[in-house]
Amino acid sequence: MRRKSILFATAVFLCTSAIAKNKEASPPPGPAKVGTQDFTSSASDCSADLDALQAARQLVNHDQRAPETHPLLASASDTSETKDATPVTIDLDQDLKLLEQKQTELAGCILGDYAKELAQDAAEPCFGELVLNFEMRHDGEPEQDIPIGRVPRSQAFFYEAGMTIDADGAPNAYHPDNSGLDDLANAGTPGRWEGLAKNSDGEPYIQGPNDPFPGYYVSATALADRSKAANDPARYVDASKIPFVVLPGMMARQLGARVGDFAVVFNRRNSKISYAIFGDVGPFDRIGEGSMALAENLGIRSDARNGGARRGIVYLVFPGSGNGTPRTIEEINAEGRKLVLDWETSISPEACAVPQSAMPAKGNQAVN
């Protein structure tokens, strides 16, 4: 099931970015090639499948709202002839199956005959290589394994997880009385502050009268402007403004990523995509975290205390793509677009899905 999910996510990555490029270009540039296929033409040919997917998603959204807003019920109420008719039944499970079917059809359209061959022989892995089985833990106990795949002909890696919301770097992220954007417990504990800027004695800095939020702590991120003082809130990447991803430090090192590298993040639930930067380092046993601004871009509730997404977020990270310094939103978007275009033009038709590991992970270690 996970392989099908990543197949679909990868296909929509390509489709959405290609469609976006077509809209932005005037006149349109030459078509990008995916293997031997004309992908610009392929994306255009799949417009009917994309429309069908959006209609199925809209139906599911209506199912989850009040019955009177359901499109079938609304249309029935417009005619007096239907007053005594049998009520229309809302079947969320059925509509969810329809949505999944339309997702599969869109992926099949984009990837063409090769996706059909994959569906017939799903046992054979073909989307790059499985480089890591990341073991998620909760309270020290194994929770689930997240396969990390590498894109063919590239150092880029990707995975699918949920998203917890990071407020670090925002000047109003943490307050001594716990009234900041995020719970103070997420910044650490006295003597072991991890999300706060500290002096040489380990004491956290508190913003003064000339800072953006006097009385709040100075919240730190791993990605920082080293030309600014450690107690300057502007030194750090503001989670409320900059879309960034958070990666476990050990995993990032294993895969060659460092803070300042670029990423693309995709929300499978609504097909929204955002470019991002690797802005902070998180716990060694958790994966799937992004800044408040990234969540906003993806249509995810961005409240650092109660927001986030449980599943369905695909992260694509490009190791070695950054310069280790904070970047503006314009730079993040420009670099992200370039990286995706380079990926599209180099990816081969052998790319299709992340293989599921046949063996349970032994901690967060590379498997090859």
pLDDT at 3: 43
321-335 confidence digits (pLDDT tens): 999 999 999 999 999
pLDDT above 60: residue 287: yes
How far apart are alpha carbons 31 and 39 in whole angstroms? Answer: 7
Residue 29 has pLDDT above 70, yes or no: no
pLDDT average, residue stretch 311-327: 96
Higher-scoring residue by pLDDT: 82, 261: 261
Residue 118 is predicted with a pLDDT of 39
**Domain presence at residue 229:** no
Structure confidence at residue 38 (pLDDT): 38
Q: In this structure, is residue 13 part of a structural domain?
A: yes
Same domain flag for 133 and 6: no
Whether this model's pTM surpasses 0.85: no
Higher pLDDT, 80 or 315: 315
CA dist., res. 253 & res. 319, Å (int)? 10
pLDDT digits (tens, 9 = 90+) for 248-278: 999 999 999 999 999 999 999 998 999 999 9
Q: Tell me, yes or no, whether 358 and 275 share the same domain.
A: yes
Whether residue 332 sits in one domain with residue 276: yes
pLDDT at 350: 44
Residue 234 within any structural domain of the chain? no
Top-confidence residue, 331 or 45: 331
Q: Which of 40-49, 89-98, 113-122, 310-319 has the lowest mean pLDDT?
A: 113-122
- Is residue 23 pLDDT above 90, yes or no? no
pLDDT digits (tens, 9 = 90+) for 141-163: 888 899 998 877 788 999 999 99
Asked if residue 56 and residue 158 are part of one domain, the reply reads no
Residue 308 lies in a domain: yes
Same domain, 112 and 155: no
- The total of structural domains in the chain comes to 2
Residue 154 lies in a domain: yes
Q: Domain end: 86, 120, 154, which one?
A: 120
Cβ–Cβ < 8 Å for 286, 248: yes
- Please state, in angstroms and rounded to a whole number, the distance separating the CA atoms of residues 354 and 347: 14
Residue 206 lies in a domain: no
**How high is the pLDDT of residue 97?**
77
- Which of 229, 235, 120 lies closest to 169, judged by CA? 235
158 and 247 Cβ atoms separated by less than 8 Å: no
| Residue 123: band (very low, low, confident or very high) from pLDDT cuts 50, 70, 90 | very low
DSSP state letter for 204 = B
Structure confidence at residue 10 as a pLDDT band (50, 70, 90): low
The phi-psi region of residue 329 (left if phi > 0; otherwise alpha if psi is between -120 and 50; otherwise beta) is alpha
Looking at the structure, do residues 160 and 301 belong to the same domain, yes or no? yes
Last residue of a domain, which of 87, 120, 153?
A: 120
Pairwise pLDDT comparison (100 vs 202), residue with the higher score = 202
Residues 139, 271: one domain? yes
Domain assignment present for 91: yes
Shared-domain flag, residues 135 and 110: no
Band of residue 14 on the pLDDT scale cut at 50, 70, 90: very low
Q: Is the pLDDT of residue 194 over 60?
A: yes
Does residue 109 form part of some domain?
yes
Same domain, 102 and 247: no
Compute the mean pLDDT over every residue in the chain, rounded to the nearest whole number. 77
Task: Please indicate whether residue 367 or residue 314 has the higher confidence score (pLDDT).
Answer: 314
Task: pLDDT band for 55, please (50, 70, 90 cuts).
Answer: confident
Domain that holds residue 77: 2-120
Same domain, 59 and 141: no
Position 78 scores a pLDDT of 47
Average pLDDT over residues 278-287: 95
Hey, what are 160's tokens?
């699918």
300 and 163 in a single domain? The answer is yes
Q: Which residue has the higher pLDDT, 267 or 126?
A: 267
CB of 111 closer than 8 Å to CB of 96: no
pLDDT recorded at residue 216: 98
Residues 133 and 280 in one domain: yes
CATH number of the domain within which 276 lies: 2.40.40.10
CA 184 to chain centre: 25
